[in-house]
Structure 1
Amino acid sequence: MSRLHVVSGKGGTGKTTVAAALALALATEGQRTLLVEVEGRQGIAQVFETEALPYEERKIAVAPDSAGASRSDSSRGGGGRRAGEVYALAIDAERALLDYLQMFYKLGGAGRALKKLGAIDFATTIAPGLRDVLLTGKACEAVRRKDKHGRFVYDAVVMDAPPTGRITRFLNVNDEVAGLAKIGPIHNQAQAVMRVLKSPETAVHLVTLLEEMPVQETVDGVAELRAAGLPVGGVVINMVRPPVLDPDEVDLAANGARAGIATALSSAGLGGARRGGRAERLIDPLLEQAREHAERVALERAEHTEITGLGLPTYELEQLPEGVDLAGLYRLARDLRTQGPI
């Protein structure tokens, strides 16, 4: 089982929502999960309907146990299973650099002085690669951190990562840094990060929709991750639409079924099927909608086949009719749990 779950996906596929649902799904049976944000969008706060996250690890949710009870439920009536907890952290590159300077160079006071002078902001702005080094390093530090008893502080860490188009470079930046800095603490830190990112402890999950562009980016992303030696986890198909017609009805819609529709409308009391009648006037709009639906179903089938052809575990999350609120987030987490380990 992986301990660092990196969630990426094309913009608009709902990767932040999936990352949040995954964190809840992993935080069961007393497990503690850290949900990490690296893009500075405060997307986690929005999903959990809470205030903006500071640069500190803060508990934002209590996960239900495997029986579906929250902590308040499972603590009643004596001896229920303990629910898990989800903590969240919005990583700030400047603050992470200050941590880095203190950790490796004991420059706490000097680092704060550099921040006042604007040097920290200057460094992270002119060197985008440095920003990625700091972000990945902070996440991996949380994965490796242990308490005074030698136990991991977090059972799992979930990272809401950059989009698919740059996820490989984002995760692989420490390889480049280790090659540039041949010795010293920077080299050692970069190698330590890559040991985590390229180990079985890590899994990179890609979120997609059953649409051509997101699926193509997912296929390309998987190829790039594999070529870089980064561990690919699974593919989460998000916002899956519930079936409206069964397969036979879809085929009829694709081929047109004018006479059948006219008869059905007449049977429903919507007027006779005579030319110019009420039922007749409804046929063409209904056929057009049916054709559009059939085309959509055919496209989704083809894209689904493309995804399963990757040979990766696949998970499906339904499109919530009312949008994603906190209750919907817990529902998605439950759906992930029921589909097996991720």
Structure 2
Amino acid sequence: MTASALPVPRLHIVTGKGGTGKTSVAAAMALALAGTGRRVLLVEVEGRQGIAPLFDAPSLGYEERHLAAGLDGGEVFGQSVDADEALLDYLTMFYRLGSAGKVLQKFGAIDFATTIAPGLRDILLTGKLKEAVSRTESGRMAYDAVVLDAPPTGRVVKFLNVTVESGRLAKTGPIGKHSRSVARMLHSSLTSVHVVTTPAAMPVQETVDAHRELMAADLPVGHLVLNKVAGAKTVEVDAEEIAAGLARAGLPADETLGSALVAGLMEEYAAARTEIEAVGAYRDRLEQLGQPVAELPLLPEGVDLSGLYQLARVLRPGIVGGLRNV
């Protein structure tokens, strides 16, 4: 696929409140995007090492490594981006330091630099993303898409917008030029920021807040992903129906026990109905934000590689179908 025919967006940033399953969603999204003949890079930052266990693979390092086959025959690669290694790349790329950079790392100079300038760490991480998105090999793009398991919603805007501030401060030189170039990509149609939530009050409210902050920062919002949704639907049931059903089944014969069982089942039914109706209310609130909403099922046994493929198949129509050719 040539660069002129590549679909956009090509950088998918997945964020969400802790516990919403954003890492699983990012992994499933990478599988969904890796259609026939496509290569997708799945990236994590800040040393979290949350991706490898999902693929039953060894811990990821700075070197890109094949993780799994995507849907319909594509390939998914994984990488854990470390700020120190990214700085070595940066020094080699812009200052041609080569082995001298390794010497700086050995004596702690790189760690010192990223400690006294905390924003530099995020600049290096986002800069590495841009390099992966724009890299070419043998006349074609190295990756058709890059998916980032990003910091949580409380920090994602600062993480993505640090390059804007850096570009304003450094008016000239490689750092300023590099920062402005990364900022342009993050604020363009090449990028899409997806926010993951679950059907509960706090995660949905944090998603609403994150959406507002992303829009205010002029960062392109993609899908709102409502994750871990139970698949049941509301069905009208009353105590008489339950009692009749129990009688047909031959249980229980004792009237007192039967009444207690019916009452208990009615309580369970009322609680389940309330939960299901709440999901609908949360979905409506997300849809009011004007972004497409993708809904993923709750996997009671947890998410393993098989579960990732299941989630990917659900995600594919919305995520991949929403890509357009340019």
Same fold (TM over 0.5): yes
Distance 1:41 1:318 in 2: 25
Aligned-residue offset at 1:239: 1.2
Distance 1:262 1:148 in 2: 71
Aligned-residue offset at 1:285: 1.6
Counterpart in 2 of 1:72? none
**Does structure 1 residue 6 correspond to structure 2 residue 4?**
no
Aligned-residue offset at 1:37: 0.7
The 3-state SS of whatever aligns with 1:90 is: strand
Counterpart in 2 of 1:279? 258
Q: CA 1:174–1:292 in structure 2 vs 1: closer, same or farther (change >3 Å)?
A: same
The 3-state SS of whatever aligns with 1:236 is: strand
Matched-pair contact (CA < 8 Å) for 1:34–1:154: yes
Out of 219, 234, 241, which is 1:230 matched to? 219
**Does structure 1 residue 84 correspond to structure 2 residue 74?**
yes
Counterpart in 2 of 1:68? none
The number of residue pairs the alignment matches comes to: 314
Out of 196, 219, 241, which is 2:185 matched to? 196
Matched-pair contact (CA < 8 Å) for 1:238–1:316: yes
CA RMSD of aligned residues (A): 1.6
Larger Rg: 1
Q: TM-score, normalised by structure 2?
A: 0.92
Counterpart in 2 of 1:104? 94
Out of 261, 267, 283, which is 1:304 matched to? 283
Out of 51, 64, 81, which is 1:44 matched to? 51
Matched-pair contact (CA < 8 Å) for 2:197–2:204: yes
Counterpart in 2 of 1:242? 231
Tell which deviates more after alignment, 296-305 or 92-101: 296-305
Out of 157, 166, 190, which is 2:146 matched to? 157
Matched-pair contact (CA < 8 Å) for 2:43–2:78: yes
Q: Any unmatched runs of 5+ in structure 2?
A: 1-7
Matched-pair contact (CA < 8 Å) for 1:266–1:273: no
Counterpart in 2 of 1:71? none
**Does structure 1 residue 341 correspond to structure 2 residue 321?**
yes
Aligned-residue offset at 1:314: 1.3
Distance 1:324 1:56 in 2: 25
Matched-pair contact (CA < 8 Å) for 2:234–2:276: no
Structure 1 runs of 4+ off > 2 angstroms? 125-128, 257-268, 271-274, 338-342
Q: Which has the higher contact order (CA 8 A, sep 6+)?
A: 2
Tell which deviates more after alignment, 128-137 or 103-112: 103-112
Counting aligned pairs with the same residue, the percent is 54
The 3-state SS of whatever aligns with 1:316 is: strand
Out of 50, 56, 64, which is 1:57 matched to? 64
The 3-state SS of whatever aligns with 1:56 is: coil
